[in-house]
Amino acid sequence: MIPELHRPLAVDRIGAAGVEVVVEATAAECAALAQRIQLPSVLDLRCAFRLERDHADVLIAYGHLSARVMQTCVVSLEDFAVTIDDRFSLCCVPAGQESDDPDPEAPDEIGYADGMLDLGEIAAEQLALTLDPYPRKPGAALPALADEPEQSAFAALRSLRRH
């Protein structure tokens, strides 16, 4: 299955000097991404990559993701615009050669197959990773609690004991 934002790049094209590639999503790709990531809409997405060889089949990808999306506020349930500006780096390795190292400080790894790296899919995944899982529209406030605080379970037990 071809992903919504498909921008394959042959790994062989990346020489010692590296390569720079820009991925920009079309309106149709943005709509498909919004559906996949379960957003009201993706207004635009652009990701600039700088790819360098680390050694043999291992690449380092430096990316700058810029996007505008609509998210739904978890408090008011209103849609609101969010601007994303994220810089990231990834280690790209042949599929099956990903490290099992659980070190959270180690760079994230992404596998590629058949000598092709899909920069569109990397951009889409990075977008999903940068989104706030509990988005709150600026100024949205939780409803005020009742004036009278609810009695805790322990206070209720304490009142039973006195009788």
User: Do the beta carbons of residue 41 and residue 68 sit within 8 Å?
Assistant: no
pLDDT tens string 19-66: 999 999 999 999 999 999 999 999 999 999 999 998 878 999 999 999
Please tell me the total number of residues recorded for the chain in this structure: 163
Query: What is residue 135's DSSP assignment?
Result: -
pLDDT tens string 65-119: 999 999 999 999 999 999 999 999 999 999 888 877 777 777 888 999 999 999 9
